[in-house]
Amino acid sequence: MSLRTPLSKVRGLGSAKDGTEHWWHQRVTAVANIPLVLIFAFVLINSVGKPHAEVAALLGSPLVVIALLMMIGSITWHMRLGMQVIIEDYISSEGRKIAALMANTFFCAAMAVAGGFAILKLGFAS
């Protein structure tokens, strides 16, 4: 005999009811990623093998800082949503799923903060 009624046991176990928003944010960040990732790929390839002073000057110029900040924000949000779907698809045990979803959020937040900090530091340094 449980204190909880059968109804209260099943309430909240259905849809999380924010599927549309998840889907929509994945699309908005996907569109934003197109120019941002192309710009970053260009900057990255162009910087290979160059001395620190040159790379720091390029990464620290205002337009590049703005583009990279937007990129780190957009890709970390996009990849968090994307990995969430992959985790939900492949991990069926509830406990491990929640642990993986949390690790996913922590990793993406850490990447956003660390990347954002590095970009700002480069921007303010030059």
Partner 1 sequence: MTNSDVPRERPLSPHLQVYSPMLTMMMSIVHRITGSALYFGTFLVVWWLIAAASGPAYFDLVNGFFSSWFGRLILFGYTWAAINHMLGGIKHLFWDTGRGFELETVERNARLTLGGSIVLTILLWVIAYGVK
Among residues 83, 34, 80, 39, the alpha carbon closest in space to that of 59 is found at 39
Residue 29 near residue 77, CB atoms below 8 Å: yes
Q: Does 85 bind ligand HEM (CB under 6 A)?
A: yes
- The nearer residue to partner 1, 96 or 121, going by C-beta atoms, is 121
Residue 64 near residue 125, CB atoms below 8 Å: no
User: Kind and range of the H or E element at 20?
Assistant: helix 19-47
Q: Does 75 bind ligand HEM (CB under 6 A)?
A: yes
| x/- track of binding to partner 1 for residues 44-83 (CB under 8 A) | xxxxxxxxxx-xx--x--------x---x--xx--x--xx
What residues make contact with ligand HEM under the rule CB under 6 A? 26, 30, 33-34, 37, 75, 78-79, 82-83, 85-86
